Each structure stands twice: as C-alpha cells, then as structure tokens.
C-alpha cells in the first residue's frame, strides 16, 4: 500500500483564470480512508481526477508513496477508480467485467478466475458471476464496480460519489459495506462525496473544500466539535448549525434578551473590521427549551416539527426583538433556527417556544473573516 500527497497541486481549466483546485496541500496516510467533501463545484472531483491522472496538474506535484506521479500515465499509477455511473460493460458477464483489467494486463486465466472469485466472495456476488449487468440491481452493480477495483489489488482506491445513484436505504447499507470492506483490505482510499453525512460516517478523516480551496482537515469528531470557520461549521452536521451575529459589549455577546459571556481570549481577538460584533454558531442540540420567564432566552415561532422517533427537531422563525437584531441563518434558511427537542414533548405548529444557548456550547467566529476564535 502507499501514502498519497498533494503538494501545492493546482488545476486551472482552459479558458478560465480561477483555479478549480488551488494550491492543494493534503497528505493521506497508508491505509487511511480520507473523504473529500464540499458543495458542487468545490473541486473535490477535480482533485480526485488529478490523482488518477485524468486531469492535468498545472502547478505543484502529486505523490503516491515516494513516487512523483504528476506526469505519469493513469495506467501506470497503480490506482483503481470506482465511478458514480458504475461504467460496466453491458455485453459482459459480472465475472468478465470484474476481471477485464487483469485480462488486458495479460494475467493467466487461472489467476484472473481466482482473484475474481475471491472478490466476489468478499462482496457477496458469487451467485451473480454469470449474469449480465442488466440483470442486477443498482446496489449489485455498484458492488461489481467495487469488485473490479479490488481484483486489481492497487495501492490506492479512488471513489467518485459511488452511492449517488442508489436509493436512500440502499445508500446507507452500501456505505457501511464500503467502510468495513476498506478497513478489512487496508487499502489507502480517497472518497469523494457532496453528502456530509456520508463523510461523517465513513471517513477516518475528512477534508472540506470550497471554491477550490482546502478549508479544514480532521477526524469527523474534530470537524463537528471544532470547525475552523463559519463555512465548515454550517456545512458539517445534520441538521445544520444555526449561525447568528451578536453585538459585543463589556465581554458579553448579546442580541435582544439573549446573552453569551465571552472569554477574554476571544474578546482580545476581535478587530476593528469586526465592527463590535461576533458570529456565534450553535447546533440544534445546544439549545434548551426554557420557560418564557427565564432570562437570556429568545422566542421561536414553530413552523414545522420533524419527528424522527428517537429525536425531534423544531424548524422555526425568530420573533420579537431578536429577529430584528440578529442576522441568523441555518440549513432551513435565513431568519430560521433549528432546535432539537424532547420527542415526548413536541410543540404544535404555530406555537412559540423560548430557547437559550447551553453554557459553553457556542462556537465563536470572527464577524469579518469567518475564522474560528479562541
């Protein structure tokens, strides 16, 4: 197996000036499962295709192990790629699809059959080896595409949104299979997705990109607990984090009746560009429903209650003084707040609840740069 290193790797498409991937510095350890995640157009698939050799590198270098593969042909990089659309040959059987790359490489028939059967056993495809792709379900076709990669025994697996064509239930099942399979095989894997839930549940580490720039790299827990900036904070987590702008006065962030004491270290990091304000992020589970008489709370008009059995989430609109002063947004939209509540005490649509931010649960960011404070 091998490590993967992007060293200031840059890709600029012809006819454009802005890089699709800009000075990417990223190191993937041997045997690690790294997930590249970000919104559409952020450069994650381009980064993967640069590693595969399917896109030119206009600046910097890419290494697999200690070998500089920046200008090496894709077939000589010892990688295997799993695509979003399976890319199976419709006229070939499952066994022939899985073994095709080995056949082209001139491997003996007996070795090809042995490797195909071994991969089929791992992926629970043994009984389907003589079928054509059209006789398989979407999940089975994706496992065939995985098997084709496995039989090559590459140094690195590359996966480009392999689950996006599957229905929701099968997507959950297949992502579990892929994660456990990778750990069993121990092959270095770079996995691209736009689904942050996939990223949190599958990756050893996550790399978040935006506009071709790397925003943060870390474990799923690090990304959730200590996002580096407002973008990562709002992108990682489901439901999304609530983000609001508070005025700062005498070391306290306040808007309407809500108050959040700030540490000296945070206040010292505020600059003139922040305009006496600080951006706070607070996750739905970081809000307590409190009585109206409680201090430092703010009212939320209930628009929708999402009941999930073990959990329930209120999607509401800020009302009163808080709504006028705060610049609040969440995954539900502008001036919207999401609150996790007790599923046994669910408010009705149109009710008003009062919530407060739990002590020590607010994430603090610069109002001007969006970078984390403290």
Q: What are phi and psi of 97, to 5 degrees?
A: -60, -45
Q: Quick one: 202 and 319 in the same domain?
A: no
pLDDT number for residue 332 = 67
Q: Coil, helix or strand for 51?
A: helix
Angle at 119 between CA 72 and CA 96, to 5 degrees: 75
Q: Quick one: 254 and 223 in the same domain?
A: no
pLDDT number for residue 208 = 97
Q: Quick check: is 371 in a domain?
A: no
Q: Quick one: 115 and 209 in the same domain?
A: yes
Q: What is the β-pairing status of strands 205-210 and 33-37?
A: parallel
Q: What is the DSSP string of 196-209?
A: HHHHHHH-SEEEEE
Q: Quick one: 230 and 86 in the same domain?
A: yes
Distance CA 279, CA 245 (A): 4
Q: Is-cis flag, bond preceding 239, omega within 30? A: yes
Query: Which of 234, 269, 286 corresponds to the end of one domain?
Result: 234
The residue range of the domain holding 332 is 239-366
Q: How much is the CA Rg of the chain, to the nearest whole Å?
A: 25
pTM passes above 0.75: yes
C-beta atoms surrounding 223 within 10 Å: 27
Distance CA 259, CA 345 (A): 26
pLDDT number for residue 287 = 93
pLDDT number for residue 111 = 93
Q: Quick one: 50 and 183 in the same domain?
A: yes
Q: Quick one: 148 and 255 in the same domain?
A: no
Q: Quick one: 212 and 187 in the same domain?
A: yes
Q: Quick check: is 204 in a domain?
A: yes
What is the H or E stretch that residue 95 is in? helix 94-104
pLDDT number for residue 368 = 93
Q: Quick one: 22 and 147 in the same domain?
A: yes
Q: Quick one: 69 and 189 in the same domain?
A: yes
Q: Quick one: 220 and 289 in the same domain?
A: no
Q: Quick one: 178 and 277 in the same domain?
A: no
Task: Note whether 261 and 295 are within 8 A (CB).
Answer: no
Query: Which of 172, 207, 234 corresponds to the end of one domain?
Result: 234
Which segments in the chain show pLDDT lower than 70?
1, 321-324, 332
- pLDDT tens for each residue of 276-310: 999 999 999 999 999 887 777 888 999 999 998 88
Instruction: Tell which residue, 61, 48, 53, 46, has the closest CA to residue 16.
Output: 46
For the chain, what is the domain count?
A: 2
Q: Quick check: is 217 in a domain?
A: yes
pLDDT number for residue 212 = 96
pLDDT number for residue 322 = 66
Q: Quick check: is 100 in a domain?
A: yes
pLDDT number for residue 112 = 93
Q: Quick check: is 373 in a domain?
A: no
Distance CA 240, CA 336 (A): 11
- pLDDT tens for each residue of 9-18: 999 999 999 9
Q: Quick check: is 259 in a domain?
A: yes
Query: Residues near 222 by Cβ (< 8 Å), separated by ≥ 6?
Result: none
Q: Quick check: is 147 in a domain?
A: yes
pLDDT number for residue 163 = 85
Q: Quick one: 148 and 260 in the same domain?
A: no
Distance CA 327, CA 365 (A): 14
Q: Quick check: is 374 in a domain?
A: no
pLDDT number for residue 321 = 67
Instruction: Tell which residue, 219, 189, 191, has the closest CA to residue 204.
Output: 219
């Amino acid at each position: 197996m091998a490590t993967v290193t992007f060293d200031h790797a840059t890709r600029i498409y012809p006819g454009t000036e802005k890089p699709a991937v800009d000075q990417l510095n990223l190191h993937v350890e041997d045997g690690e499962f790294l997930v590249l995640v970000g919104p559409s157009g952020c450069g994650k698939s381009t980064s993967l295709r640069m590693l595969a050799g399917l896109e030119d590198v206009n600046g910097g270098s890419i290494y697999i192990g200690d070998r500089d593969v920046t200008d090496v042909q894709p077939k000589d990089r010892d990688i295997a790629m799993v695509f979003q659309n399976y890319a199976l040959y419709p006229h070939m059987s499952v066994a022939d699809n899985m073994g095709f790359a080995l056949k082209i490489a001139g491997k003996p028939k007996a070795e090809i059959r042995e490797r195909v059967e071994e991969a089929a056993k791992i992926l629970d495809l043994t009984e389907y080896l003589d079928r054509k792709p059209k006789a398989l379900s979407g999940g089975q076709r994706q496992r065939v595409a995985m098997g084709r990669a496995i039989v090559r025994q590459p140094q690195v697996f590359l996966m480009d949104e392999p689950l996006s064509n599957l229905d929701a239930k099968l997507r959950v099942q297949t992502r579990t299979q892929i994660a456990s399979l990778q750990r069993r095989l121990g092959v270095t894997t770079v996995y691209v997705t736009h689904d942050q839930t996939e990223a949190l549940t599958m990756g050893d580490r996550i790399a978040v990109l935006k506009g071709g720039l790397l925003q943060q790299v870390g474990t799923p827990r690090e990304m959730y607990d200590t996002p580096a900036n407002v973008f990562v904070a709002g992108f990682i987590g489901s439901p999304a984090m609530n983000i609001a702008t508070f005025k700062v006065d005498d070391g306290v962030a306040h808007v309407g009746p809500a108050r959040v004491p700030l540490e000296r270290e945070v206040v010292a990091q505020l600059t003139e560009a922040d305009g006496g304000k600080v951006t706070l992020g607070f996750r739905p589970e970081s809000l307590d429903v409190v009585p109206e008489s409680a201090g430092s709370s703010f009212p939320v008009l209930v628009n929708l209650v999402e009941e999930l059995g073990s959990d329930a989430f209120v999607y509401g609109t800020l009302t009163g003084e808080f709504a006028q002063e705060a610049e609040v947004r969440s995954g539900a939209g502008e001036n919207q707040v999401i609150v996790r509540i007790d599923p046994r005490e669910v408010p009705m649509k149109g009710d008003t609840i009062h919530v407060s931010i739990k002590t020590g649960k607010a994430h603090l960011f610069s109002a001007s740069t969006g970078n984390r404070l403290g």
